Amino acid sequence: MSIRTQTPPNRIGIPNVGFNKQAFDATLWNKGYDVIHYDAIECPCKQSGSTNITSCQNCLGLGWVFINPIQTKAILTSLNTNTQFKYWSPEFKGTVAATLMDVDRLSFMDKLVLKSETSVLSEIRPVQDTAGQKFLFTSYPVNSINSIFLFNGETSPLTRLQSTDYSISADNPYVIKLSAGITYPANFNNVVSIDYYHNVQYNVVDLPHNIRSSMKIDKNGKMEDIKLPVQAICQLSHYVNGDSPKYDGTGIQDNSYK
């Protein structure tokens, strides 16, 4: 099959408009957030016609492995910025547009962790037990805990644990250890509500501007192709998938090669 060539527009007298890559990158670096960018790869533990293996030490059944972390810069903008005359869109919750330099090649499910920005998350988590140590996993590595509540029946107030009743694991910040001396309510259902601070974390869910190219005239007067910053749509990680290593902190193998 032969490929036809589209007739170009009339370019006589039209100036050649280009973008300044150096200025783009410099502005992004000066104005962007400090982020850790992790490459995402699909885990090959998935069998044909089935799901990923839950006991896999690479992805823990999530299907994704995050490797090769690198510190870089990213500009983040909300997708719900213009809401004055619009209803809030629930499909946009926790969603931002992230712009990075072209050398930070992005792909689906890549992870971005903001180094200096924190957020608060409240979630319910089941209590687990290993060799008599009760603990729970969280969706994000925990920086600090605001409160932990236990259920105490439909007609009773929640039971709030004291700060001495729990601690963040020194081996794994996804794990909250519960002290042995806690007196649990009679109606305790083995689920806790935890409210905590964590570093903001996103996963790439779409790549509307995976490639951005322009042309400029080099020092020899020839046209040169240049690559400009790329953009991805990202969503808070707990809306996309969980990401909790196992209790001992060694649940995910280190597959990084850079």
Please tell me which of 6-10, 12-16, 212-216 the model is most confident about, judged by mean pLDDT: 6-10
Q: How high is the pLDDT of residue 148? A: 97
C-beta of residue 141 within 8 angstroms of C-beta of residue 174:
yes
Burial readout 53-86 (b: 16 or more C-beta within 10 A, e: otherwise)? beebebbbebbbbbbeeeebbbbbeebeeeeeee
Which pLDDT score, from 0 to 100, does residue 102 have? 83
pLDDT at 130: 85
0.95 surpassed by pTM: no
**pLDDT tens-digit series, residues 64-86:** 889 999 999 999 987 655 555 55
pLDDT at 17 over 80: no
pLDDT tens per residue, range 80-103: 555 555 555 555 678 899 988 888
Instruction: Give residue-wise pLDDT tens across range 26-47.
Output: 888 998 999 999 999 988 887 7
- pLDDT, residue 199, reads 95
Chain segment 144-185, per-residue pLDDT in tens = 999 999 998 888 899 999 999 999 998 888 899 999 989 998
Please give the full DSSP string across 155-217, using - where no structure is assigned. TSPPEEPPGGGEEE-SS-TTEEEEPTT----TT--SEEEEEEEEEEEEEEEEEEES--EEEEE
